[in-house]
Structures are given as C-alpha cells and as structure tokens.
Chain A
Amino acid sequence: MNIISITQAHRKTSHTIIESDDDSDIEMDDQGIITRTGTGTGASSSLVVTPGELITSDPTWMKGHGTYYLTSSSTTTTDENNNNNNSEMPTYSSLAGTIQKVNKLLTVVPFKGRYKPETGDHIIGRITGISVKRWKVDIGGERSATLLLGSVNLPGGVLRRKTEADELQMRSFLKEGDLVNCEVQNGGGDGGCMLHTRSLKYGKLRNGVFVKVPSGLIVRSKNHSFDLPGGVSIILGVNGFCWIGMTKRDGSGNSNSSGNVIGNNLKTEAGLTQKKYK
C-alpha cells in the first residue's frame, strides 16, 4: 500500500509527493553523502549511521560500543560480551553517529551525548555531596564521580598524613558547590570514576567565571590550561566545564604552586584580590 505524504520544502526539494517503496534505501543527495542500508563491509571511516541500521553482516568484526546484534532466538545482547559464538550475527547500530574502526573493532561514536570519563582526563567538577572520606563530584557525565580524601593535597604539604581531624573538617577543604580542577584517576567502567587532585596544578578553583560547553567540543590534548596575556588563564576541562580566571603568579612561572593547594584559601584569595587592583 502506498502512502502519500507531503513534506515541507527544504533545500532543493519543493512540494514533493513521495511514495514509499518496498526497499528502504535511504540516500541524502543534497550534500553528496550517500549512506547505504544494504550489506557491505569496507566503507569509508566517517560513515553516518542511525539506530537500527545494519552496519555489517560480516561476522569477523568485533562489536564495540554503540552497536548491538540479535541472536537467533531474538533475545538481544549488546556490546562487549561477545565471547560465545556470535558468528553470522549482523551488527546493527544503536546510536546516531559515525562508525569508527580500530583494527577489527567496530564502534559507533555518537554525535552528542554525555561526557564519558577516561583515565587521565583533565576535567573540572562541582562538589555535590560529602560522605565518609569522599566527595561526590558532578562532572557532567552519566554518573557522578568520587574524589577520595586520600587523593587530594591537604594544607601543609603533599606528604601529610590524613588524620581523623581532616576527615571531620572535609567541608572546610571543599564544600558543596565548589569547583575542583582535577584529573580522572580511573575512569570508564560501570561504577563511576575516581578523581584525584594530587598535583599542584589541580585544586579548588576560585576568582573566575565558570562556563559550560558541550563536552564533544573539547579535544583531548596534552595541555588543557592556558595563560592568556593580561593575567587571564583558562582551563578547558575535557568534560566541557571551562574556567576563566586570573593567572596565579605566586610561585614559579605558570606551574601555579602553593596557591592551588586546597584549604589555603583565605590568604591566597586576599592576595589575588589585591593583585586585581594593581
């Protein structure tokens, strides 16, 4: 049975009456991008797929994130647990995104989506809660991250023992709503990620402006903090949380030292505000 549908004119097409055919090949001709729904294995690296689209029926490909396959008994299984024989199982996409191939692993990278933490990412988080020996940090991901009391630098030096007194006054180091400049210690997995600020360049952020951008726009690179001329420095967290603040000039060069240690706040804050009016 044919369906009549009148679609709005966009781009070149105008007042088209399209009748659906039996084959469901979809093409988009207006930008020269042609996607196929048939089989076929070798394809270009940046191919756009949408949920439910058949990526390949070649069983040699491993099924990574953003893909799924249907077993013969029509029960659905996904992602990494392909240890049993999944041969002759065609791979489908479960996300709208581009296909990425690493050796024989097929993954679909979504156009958009929440930040997925990876080990070593330089990010900015916001403290949302305090529990026993740990802070709960919102990093803009699916789950909130944990910052252990043991993985921050406490006032008075790097190698200080964390005593019970520290445990009791955790809120004085970092309280709810504070922004922390930190690194992902072990990310990914299912149980949320762990953070640490065990370097002098990390720590609590103050005297600046917080900006949030989509995390997909930030490229993972070696350096994420930049000093701009005029005493402004910016930190572009991989999770899309950015910080624009004053350059810390106490210590040596741009490796801002003691000024960043958590809890050393009052003195530094006063120092910075003085500098502001110089």
Chain B
Amino acid sequence: MSRLELYSPEGIRIDGRRFNELRQFTSQLNTHPNVSDGSSYVQQGNSKVICLVQGPMESLSNTNAGGASKLDHNGPILSININYPPFANNVRKKRMRNDRRLQELCVVLKRCFLKTIVSKNYARTVIEVNITVLSMDGGLLACCCNAITLALIDAGIALYDYVSAISIGLYNQIPLLDMNTLEENDLSFITIGVVGDSDKLNLVLCEDKLPLDNLEALISLGIEGCHRIKQLMDEQVRLVGTDLLSKKQ
C-alpha cells in the first residue's frame, strides 16, 4: 500500500478538507417515535449512528430481569449498549458480542452522561440507551456521544447541558479536526466532549500516544469544533420541537 498523503503542503487533507473543517453533520430527532421514548440519528461524514433511548422506567425492558433489585436511590441506572454490526466497517469484520473496545467506550459514555443527566430527578429508575452503528468512517465515540445527547433530549430527560463530542488528530504539529478512518488509522487522535457552550470537558479519551506539548492546541481546536456541533444540534432540536408543538395545537 502506498503511503497516503494525509495533509498536502497546500493544507488539504485526504478528503479535501482543511485542518479546521468538520465533515457534513446531519442529525434527526424523534426518528423512531413508536418503539422508543427518544431516538436520534446522527451522520458525520460517512459515519452514521442511530440511538434509541428507553425510559426512565422502573426496570430494564428486555431480558435483564434481575435489574430491579439493584436500583440506585440517588440517581438513574444508565445502561449503554453499542451494537456494531459486521457490515458497518470498510472491511467486513465479525465482532464478538463483548468486544473489549466497545465495552470500554460504553463505560466512558456512561460516566459522561451520568454527570450530565440531572440525576436526582430520576432516582430508582433505569434509562436504557441502545446505539446501532450503521456505517463507520471514524469518530465512533464522538458520533455516539452526539447521538445520545440528542436522543436523551428527545426523550424529555433533564440534562444540565448538551454534550457535543469531536475527534481531533495530530499530524506534524498540526491538529486535524473530525478525523475519518484513513486518518485515524495513521495518526494518533483524541476524542473530547464539551459541555454546552462552555470550555468544560465532560469526556476525554485518547487511545494512542500523543505528545503532551501539542495537547493544548488539539483541545482548543476541538472545543471550537464542539461548539459548532452543539449549535447544529440545537438548531435541529428547535426545529423538531416547534414541529411537535405545531402538531399539538
């Protein structure tokens, strides 16, 4: 395989973007109104993710019947599940049901959203989040995080703020925003989740080695990107909300 030119001297990335350019971000809310309390669809470039939220409810909807006894008196039990079918990747690959990496991502997301949900409103309840990856072209965690935020909002669950996430990679001191698969394979990257319009990070995940002195530049670009994504999500929430309101009257 020939060496790919990930970043040309003219400042163009492999898919024709600039270093600070997001992929096309599209989102939908309330996509599955009959089977879930909240649902969303997020598309970042060629990465497509569906998220369904059930709850808040008293016990888990499917099989896990033993959940009722260990309900939390201080907040909700958040169960996050990522379904990554074999066709979602470039190369067809069967994944084990308990893939180590996916489980790790679930834990990261769970920690992030337990801090974001106004937990005292949902004591002794269960919130079940199911994510299905339809196609993946980089930014798995970021897509999932954005999809969960939208689905939770759609479900009418109280959140302190939006959490918008993005991945940022590093190419020779240059931070690259919103990586795709080709870039993710060759470069080290970090995923961050930002709380609303603030500079607070609710989620940081780095699975590669990254020089520490470049971290600040990466994060500052990432925060700007997250703010933009939050803006796009907010527009969509308002659009769907006003649509729902018009149906009620």
| A residues neighboring B (CB under 8 Å) | 1-8, 18, 20, 24, 26, 28, 31, 33, 35, 46, 48, 50-52, 66, 68, 76, 78-79, 92, 94-98, 110-114, 142-144, 190, 214, 216-217
Contact = CB atoms under 8 A, between A and B. Distances in A.
A2 B159 contact: no
B160 A94 contact: yes
Interface in B230-249: 231-232, 234-235, 237-242, 244-245, 247-248
Interface range on chain B (Cβ under 8 Å from partner): 35 or more
Contacts of A28: 235, 238-239
Contacts of B227: 3, 20, 24
Nearest to A67: B158
A35 B238 contact: yes
Nearest to A8: B26
Contacts of A24: 197, 227, 231
B32 interface: no
B24 A8 contact: yes
Given A4-B20, A50-B237, 16 more contacts: A5-B22, A5-B25, A8-B26, A46-B245, A48-B238, A51-B196, A52-B159, A94-B158, A95-B153, A95-B156, A96-B241, A113-B155, A114-B56, A142-B55, A143-B58, A143-B125
Contacts of A96: 153-154, 156, 237-238, 241
B37 interface: yes
Contacts, number: 147
B235 A51 contact: no
Chain B interface, DSSP helix/strand/loop, else mixed: mixed
B224 A114 contact: no
A55 B206 CA distance: 35
B78 interface: no
Contact of A52 (B161, B221, B242): B161
A54 to B, nearest CB: 10
B121 A1 contact: no
Contacts of A79: 120-121
B118 interface: yes
Contacts of A6: 21-22, 24
B192 to A, nearest CB: 14
Given A24-B227, A26-B235, A214-B33, A142 B158 contact: no
Contacts of B157: 113
B214 interface: no
